[in-house]
Amino acid sequence: MKKKLLATILVLAMAVSMVACGNENVVNNGTGNAVDPAEPVVEAEEVEEGSVLNIYCWNEEFQARFNDYYTVPEGITVNWIITATQDNAYQIKLDEALAAQENAAADDKIDIFLVEADYALKYVDTPYTADVQATIGLSDEDLSGMYQYTKDVMTDSTGALKGVSWQACPAGFIYRRSIAIDVLGTDDPAEVQAALDTWEKFDAVAAEAKAKDYFMLSGFDDAYRVFSNNATTPWVVDEKIVVSDEIKNWVAQTKTYTDMGYNNQANLWSPESGAGAQANVFGYFGPGWFVDFCLLGWTLADPDAEAAVGNGTYGDWALCKGPQGFFWGGTWVCAATGTDNVATVKDVMYTLTCDKDTLVAIATEMGDFTNNVAAMEELANSDYAHAFLGGQNHISSYLDSATTIDMSNITAYDQGLNESFQAAMMEYFKGVVTEDEAYQNFYDAIAAKYPNLTY
């Protein structure tokens, strides 16, 4: 069953979509050139919208924002296909579905799929991602409020934009106020930042925290993204693996922290890591989505009760920049070439990634740092207070880092390389293998995962 909607479309773009479905070498209009979004639009009489909107993603983060802030048009059923990311499982399932897209039944076609920073480039320069302007219909004005880097990441070699995001991901150090008072004598974010603004100072405070029976970090990989996302070289150059000096520094620091008892030897996403938020962990590194989607839940003694002061350590947290500014992650919404729900996909993209009012609501109600420069600047200079962070305006704390995010070193292989490297080094940190053996185990794992890469 299909629903007929009146819609304004680009007639040329519809032709592009049909060509791209039939020829996997075509990215845009069949000539290798991006379609000019300034071309005149032609009013079409009717466009048939599919009755099922299929959305592929890897967790419930986007689903929560979709359900809370988007109203599904009457007659359309949303079908969520959620697959965890571990061991590339999500990408494998998505790739299989994209390969079958051309011949799939209308109600089985992918309409929207999500990608994250660690592998976004894998999908940008392919015919599987539709141009969000020429094909889907978002305008320059619609996209004008976004942080530029979020558009740069998803722009293909012809200049076509292939995905949009509701979030920007500057990150910092999220710490327990009560522990900061015990160790540093203050919980004020400015004063805590002054005590932690270099790695040398951070290490010294870790020793002071240990003396009072606190762990500076929860586990092996808590600080990984601070180092990896400040890397001055990409993971892969000319299909050769390059371990940057910054990542080597993370290995050295984490080995020291493990040997000295400055961490509790947990893996970041393990129950043990989360449990530290109600125990004796000083802090975690993370962006806005980490605060809302991960840390907040870990702090609640009663997850079924109201998230409020008095429930676990809720409210006993604050944010500072830490020893280095960094970013972590980012999720982009892509339209699949061949979608039979172009008008609905456009409406989803506009509402959740372009509409300023929606982005302000997501920021103030969900704690996300959202992808609208004007909205974030206004919130940063307002009396907005995040209850989980003890009334702190975390938008203000993240703002400086947001304007300097550089993702020029990301590669299509980052997720697999990051996961395999962290897993291999964990055995070294525990003393199971030597550092050289850990590196060899990493290279062996990558040979199986990405046989085209050398080292």
Residue 31 has pLDDT above 60, yes or no: no
The model's confidence at residue 404, banded by pLDDT at 50, 70 and 90, is: confident
- 2-168+329-376 and 170-327+384-449 agree in CATH topology: yes
Instruction: Choose among 117, 228, 108: nearest CA to 168.
Output: 117
Class of domain 2-168+329-376: alpha beta
Cα 152 from Cα 371, distance rounded (Å): 13
Given this model, what pLDDT does residue 406 score?
A: 83
pLDDT number for residue 399: 86
Residue 22: pLDDT band (50, 70, 90) is very low
**Encoded tokens for 404:** 């300097």
Residue 46 in this model has a pLDDT that exceeds 70 = no
Mean pLDDT, range 174-182, rounded to an integer: 98
Cβ contacts of 71 within 8 Å, gap of 6 or more: none
Quick: pLDDT tens for 65-120.
999 999 999 999 999 999 998 888 999 999 999 999 999 999 999 999 999 998 99
Quick one: pLDDT at residue 14?
A: 34
Closest CA to 364 of 285, 288, 287, 283: 288
Q: Are strands 331-335 and 112-116 parallel, antiparallel or unpaired?
A: antiparallel
Question: For residue range 242-259, what is the model confidence (pLDDT) as tens digits?
Answer: 999 999 999 999 999 999
Indicate whether this model's pTM tops 0.85: no
Task: Tell me the sheet residues that pair with 296.
Answer: none
Distances (CA, A) of 182 to 178, 187, 210, 281, 341: 6, 9, 12, 13, 56
Classified by CATH at the fold level, domain 170-327+384-449 comes out as D-Maltodextrin-Binding Protein; domain 2 (3.40.190)
Check whether 35 has a pLDDT greater than 80: no
Going by C-alpha positions, the residue among 4, 102, 111 that lies closest to residue 342 is 111
**pLDDT value, residue 47:** 58
Confidence of residue 27 (pLDDT cuts 50, 70, 90): very low
Whether residue 367 has pLDDT greater than 90: no
Write down the domain spans for the chain: 2-168+329-376, 170-327+384-449
Q: Which of 26-30, 67-71, 412-416 has the lowest mean pLDDT?
A: 26-30
Amino acid 397: pLDDT = 85
